[in-house]
Chains A and B, each alone.
With several copies, the nearest count.
Chain A
C-alpha cells in the first residue's frame, strides 16, 4: 500500500520538504517527522495486523496489501464480525442472502454474564453465517461474512 519513494506525494503539507520521515528508535518506538514537527509513535504486531499508536490514537493496519484504504476497511469489517473473546452464540438474526443495515444486530453472544451483540458494521448483504446457536466461538474468527 505504500508506494516507492518519489512516486507521488499526498502528504497534507504541499511543500516539497513535507515528506514524512520515520526513524526507528528501538523497542517499538518510532519518530515521525514532516521536516518541521515531529511526534513519537509506537508499533507492534505482524504485517497483516500491525498496531500503531500515534498521539493517543490506535490504528490496525494491514501492510501486506498493495493498496491502502480498502484493506484497512476490510480488516475493520472482519474485526467487527468476530467475537472479542470466547463466547457462546445465543441467537442468530443473520441469514445468507438477506440485506442488512448498519447497526443491525446479526448475532447475539453471551460471555462473562453479559449479552454481546455483533452488529453490522455497514449496509450490505449477508454472504455466510459461520456459526450456530450454542457454539462456543473463539475470538478473532469472523462469525458472519458480508458481501
Chain B
C-alpha cells in the first residue's frame, strides 16, 4: 500500500478521498488554490500544498503544479477525483513518467475512451450497440446540419470533446438547426477549446442508465450493477438512484455483461462507468452504449450503499496492485439508494450558480442517510468552481423508504446565505411521476415550470415570525444558558 497519496481535487470528492486514505492508514496531501486556503479538504488532510491562484487553469488544472506538489511531499500516488485532471490522458502519462501512480486507468485507455469516436468503435467491436450518430468530417455549420437531417430529427448536437452537459443542444425541427449548431460550437470552443461537433439521434423518453465497473491489474473485471441517472436538467444529473425502476434482473445481467465486455476490450483498469441509453422497458428493452467515464463518478455513493463496496478504497487498493477481493457472484444489490446533488444555484433563475458566504450550514444526521460534503458553516462559496456543495444519499429497504428518507433529510438540511436547489429537490422527489418511478431524461426540463412555480410566493407567517424574532434575539453566539431563559415571544399576527 502507498504511504502517501496526493488528492488533485477540491470540494466533497477531495474530502471523500482524504477520509478513505485515513481509514487505509495512508497519509493524505491536499492541494489548494488561494481561495481554497480555508476550505474543508485543506483542513482535513495530513499535509497541504498551495498550487496556485483561483482560476482552475492555474491551479487544479495545472498538471505541472500538481506533479511538483507530489514530488515535494513525496506522494507515491495521485487520486484525481472527478473533473479537473481526472480524464486528461496527458496528465496520466506525465504521472507515469514522474514515477507516481495515477489512481485510474492507463493513459492510453483514457485517451481511447475520451474520444467519442474511438469509444463507440471499441464498443461496437465488443458487440455492444451504439446510438446512431457521427462527427461529420466536414465541420461547416451546413454540413453538420445535413448530418443531423440524415440521422433524422429530433437530434442532439454536442461537442465531440467535453462533458458535464455543456454545449449539448436538442433540435426538434430543421428551422432551429443552424442556430443550435452555432450556439453549441461557441460553448464548446469556450469550454473545451475545441469546436468540433457530434450529432446523434435523439432517443425520446430514453433513460440514462450506467454500469459501474472495477478492473484490477490481474485480469479480473466485475460490474457493480446499474445507476439510474435520468433526472437531469440540461444534461446535468441532479438525482441518481439504484436499482433503476426500468431495469429487470435479466436486462441488468445483459447490461452488466455488455459493460464488462467493453471494459475488457479496452484493457481497462481501476474504476470506470459505462453509460447506456435505454429505450423501452422490460427484459427486451434496447440499450445503446453512450460513453465510458474513465474515473470515479459523482454518483458513486448509491452503488456503495447498495453493494457495500467502498469504491474509493477499492480504487486505491487496485492502484497499489491488490487483486479484487470479490468475484462477480459475490456482489449483490441490497435495498435502494437515492442521491441528490445540492448546488449553490437559484432554481427560480434558470439554475444560475450562486456564490457567497454560508451564513448557516447544518447537515442532517439520521440512520440510513449519508452526506458527502465539501463545505462547512462559515465557508465562502467561490465563483471559480462547480457550485456543488454536497450530496445527500438516502438508503432504504425499498425505493419508497429511501425516497421518504431523502425528503426527510432535505427538510432538515438548512443552508442560508446562498440560494440552493434544496427546495427544488424536495419538490422533485415528491413529484407523483418520481414517486411512481416513471421518469426519463426529459422529465426535469418538462416539469421545471411547475416545480419552480411552487417555490415562489410570499413567506408564510411562521417564517416572518422567525425573521422578526431573530432580529430581536440574535446575540452573537449567545450561550445556551442565556437563550434558555429567553422568554417566549408571542407574535399575534400582522397585516399584509
Check A-B contact in the complex, CB < 8 A: yes
Residues of A within 8 A of B (CB): 1-3, 5-12, 19-32, 34, 36-45, 47, 50-59, 61, 63, 67-69, 72-73, 80, 84-86, 111-114, 116-117, 119, 139
- CA of A50 to CA of B420 in the docked complex: distance in angstroms? 16
- CA of A28 to CA of B359 in the docked complex: distance in angstroms? 10
Q: Is the CB of B490 within 8 A of A19?
A: yes
- Asked if B175 is at the interface (CB within 8 A of a chain A CB), the reply is no
- CA of A79 to CA of B355 in the docked complex: distance in angstroms? 13
Contact flags (1/0) for B377-394 with A, using CB distance below 8 Å?
110000110000000000
CB < 8 Å: which of A1, A23, A56, A119 contacts B464? A1
Q: Is the CB of B486 within 8 A of A23?
A: yes
- Asked if B350 is at the interface (CB within 8 A of a chain A CB), the reply is yes
Q: Is the CB of B459 within 8 A of A50?
A: no
With CB as the reference atom, state the residue of chain A lying closest to B472: A24
- CA of A6 to CA of B462 in the docked complex: distance in angstroms? 16
Q: Is the CB of A139 within 8 A of B494?
A: no
With contacts A26-B478, A26-B480, A37-B47 known, is A20 near B462, CB below 8 A? yes
Q: Is the CB of A24 within 8 A of B467?
A: no
Q: Is the CB of B383 within 8 A of A85?
A: yes
- The interface centre, meaning the residue of A19, A20, A114 with most chain B CB atoms within 10 A of its CB, is A20
Shortest CB distance B474–A (Å): 7
- CA of A40 to CA of B43 in the docked complex: distance in angstroms? 7
- CA of A115 to CA of B190 in the docked complex: distance in angstroms? 11
Q: Is the CB of A58 within 8 A of B420?
A: yes
The interface size bin for chain B is 35 or more
- Asked if B115 is at the interface (CB within 8 A of a chain A CB), the reply is no
- CA of A39 to CA of B18 in the docked complex: distance in angstroms? 13
With CB as the reference atom, state the residue of chain A lying closest to B425: A56
Contact flags (1/0) for B342-363 with A, using CB distance below 8 Å?
0000100110111110011010
- CA of A8 to CA of B47 in the docked complex: distance in angstroms? 25
Q: Is the CB of A59 within 8 A of B463?
A: yes
CB < 8 Å: which of A37, A55, A85 contacts B411? A55
- CA of A44 to CA of B476 in the docked complex: distance in angstroms? 11
CB < 8 Å: which of B354, B420, B466, B477 contacts A52? B466
Q: Is the CB of A31 within 8 A of B360?
A: no
With contacts A42-B362, A61-B459, A85-B355 known, is A9 near B464, CB below 8 A? no
- Asked if B251 is at the interface (CB within 8 A of a chain A CB), the reply is no
- CA of A23 to CA of B239 in the docked complex: distance in angstroms? 35
- The interface centre, meaning the residue of A36, A39, A68, A139 with most chain B CB atoms within 10 A of its CB, is A68
Shortest CB distance A97–B (Å): 25
Shortest CB distance B171–A (Å): 18
Shortest CB distance A84–B (Å): 5
Query: Can you list the 9 inter-chain pairs with the closest CB atoms, starting with the nearest?
Result: A53-B414, A51-B416, A43-B470, A44-B359, A42-B414, A59-B459, A44-B360, A61-B467, A22-B469
With CB as the reference atom, state the residue of chain B lying closest to A6: B492
Shortest CB distance B404–A (Å): 13
Q: Is the CB of A32 within 8 A of B492?
A: no
B478 CB contacts on chain A under 8 angstroms: 24, 26
- Asked if B405 is at the interface (CB within 8 A of a chain A CB), the reply is no
CB < 8 Å: which of B349, B412, B464, B465 contacts A80? B349
Q: Is the CB of A38 within 8 A of B47?
A: yes
With contacts A21-B488, A52-B459 known, is A43 near B416, CB below 8 A? yes
Query: Which residues B327-381 have CB closer than 8 A to chain A?
Result: 346, 349-350, 352-356, 359-360, 362, 377-378
B407 CB contacts on chain A under 8 angstroms: 56
B190 CB contacts on chain A under 8 angstroms: 113
Q: Is the CB of A10 within 8 A of B355?
A: no
- The interface centre, meaning the residue of B384, B484, B495 with most chain A CB atoms within 10 A of its CB, is B495
CB < 8 Å: which of A20, A47, A72 contacts B465? A20
A3 CB contacts on chain B under 8 angstroms: 492-495
Q: Is the CB of A10 within 8 A of B467?
A: no
A84 CB contacts on chain B under 8 angstroms: 346, 349, 352-355, 419
